[in-house]
Structure 1
């Protein structure tokens, strides 16, 4: 599949065929794609928790409302991407970066979360390329610590959401074209509000 096609066909799939597991080879390609994302200073402060089977069944109590309330619980696979700020702060305190401290105030935005989000996007696109559907969603804030405890997640790793993956079983494809904002409202040339020449 061409990249432009993966981008065009990518959408949030919320209902999956629970009887069709994600092939191991597809999972490996999806995971590997995440490692190809940009990373400030090549810090690579990401990690993934792969959940399937019984491990996944426990997950839904920490997810988006529980298995009974979410069609996404039909997914046979969930990836939880994590960012690790400490890896970035340590990397930029090394001699080749010129900072001698780990001061978080030096960072204009939290690149550890941004880089992990870009990794997740590559994984969403790779799922499409593999003929699969995917759904990115957040973990309810008050459930993050119980989730960490249940899966033994080290305190320095922050989940930035989760990705449900499987074969698309949505009964009806949503047409969101009429809701998509026009590109002219989103892109500015030269200055805010500037139009393309």
Structure 2
């Protein structure tokens, strides 16, 4: 709906519900603010990884495929943010620098570490999208943008979990100090989510 020009003028992609409670509006604001920031960071993680591993035929191709999906996610999140009049996080530039740095550093540690980074990030993001889907169940469904939003979040969650599976299939768990790396990256993602919700 958000990428097809034929649907560009439909209420589901151009209007925001007015009959939601202040608490629901705050939840929607926080959700879309953090989702958009997360997609910015994801794009820069893959950009950093590709800068280091782009020469590797198999790994470079995998990273490019996942990055292409993240580019689509970001384009849709940008449109959702405008549609629902959500203030972006002031941490966008931090997300870019941190994402690129995380992607490049883990890629410099080796292909397995780059995949471990993807595994850790996508585990947290998959859980985060699941939480949002549960939260959106309580929203009024009579405005066309809400069912569409749930469909978008569900689709993006499935894409992120597919990236997680891809990382595991390509030996993420063989990365040096896999458990430690996963814990550090996962904890960093959780902190970033909480910060972007608020700032």
| TM-score normalised per structure 1 | 0.28
Higher helix share: 2
Higher strand share: 1
State the structure with more CA Rg. Answer: 1
| TM-score normalised per structure 2 | 0.28
